[in-house]
Chains A and B, each alone.
Chain A
């Protein structure tokens, strides 16, 4: 199985600031995905970046992928209180069975 580990575990910022969280993994991947989880809810898929991509944007989200360092970062620009949630990464394997694993996530708190 693939392992995604998020860093930092917790992040507290003010509304309007940017939030950056990182993900590291151990083996070769086909793609990497970021998810958001509001308290007590399921995970919502935010963005998927393929192994041949280095950067991807979606609204206020910017994801980078460095396969040489086996790491990815998620940047949320101009954060809002509604961005308060936990964020998880998961990796898609390069061939073989498709069983992602998730880390503990980054808990983001955006203060209004």
Chain B
């Protein structure tokens, strides 16, 4: 079975600072990987997905970017954080036959 390691669990960053959230996957090779964002009490908004190394697709244009430098590593980044970037970020892996495995999430607060 797959395991997703996502860190940090919580993060407080000042406006204008950079961001790097990392996600790694165990138990599978060549997974599809996803970054989601979830506002409080809301559903999940897909930000980026990747079907392979260096292959990134963006669902929503915004202040964030993603990279996949290794098969089982997915990174969410920003050069300059905005207050509106405060949210709960989730990494996920698939999966299509067995559903999706999610990381435990990162609570980002931009101050």
Residue of B nearest to A104 (CB): B43
Residue of A nearest to B1 (CB): A45
**A112 touches B (CB below 8 Å):** no
Residue of A nearest to B94 (CB): A98
What is the CB-to-nearest-CB distance from B93 to chain A, in angstroms, rounded to a whole number? 11
Contact (Cβ within 8 A) B42 A99: no
* Across-interface contacts of A102 in B (CB, < 8 A): 36, 43-44
**B96 touches A (CB below 8 Å):** yes
* Across-interface contacts of A12 in B (CB, < 8 A): none
How many A-B pairs fall under 8 Å by CB? 59
With A41-B105, A99-B49 already in contact, the answer to whether A48 and B99 are too (CB < 8 A) is: yes
Residue of B nearest to A5 (CB): B43
- B contacts with A: majority SS: strand
With A33-B99, A33-B100, A48-B98 already in contact, the answer to whether A43 and B90 are too (CB < 8 A) is: yes
**B104 touches A (CB below 8 Å):** yes
**Number of chain B residues whose Cβ lies closer than 8 Å to a Cβ of chain A:** 28
**A1 touches B (CB below 8 Å):** yes
**B74 touches A (CB below 8 Å):** no
Contact (Cβ within 8 A) A98 B99: no
What is the CB-to-nearest-CB distance from A102 to chain B, in angstroms, rounded to a whole number? 4
What is the CB-to-nearest-CB distance from B110 to chain A, in angstroms, rounded to a whole number? 18
Contact (Cβ within 8 A) B88 A43: no
With A40-B88, A104-B42, A105-B43 already in contact, the answer to whether A92 and B96 are too (CB < 8 A) is: yes
Q: Which of B63-111 contact A (CB under 8 A)?
A: 88, 90, 92, 94-96, 98-105, 107
What is the CB-to-nearest-CB distance from B74 to chain A, in angstroms, rounded to a whole number? 14
Cβ contact of B43, chosen from A42, A99, A103, cutoff 8 A: A103
Of all A-B residue pairs in the complex, the 6 with the closest CB atoms, nearest first, are A42-B102, A104-B43, A45-B99, A102-B44, A43-B102, A33-B99
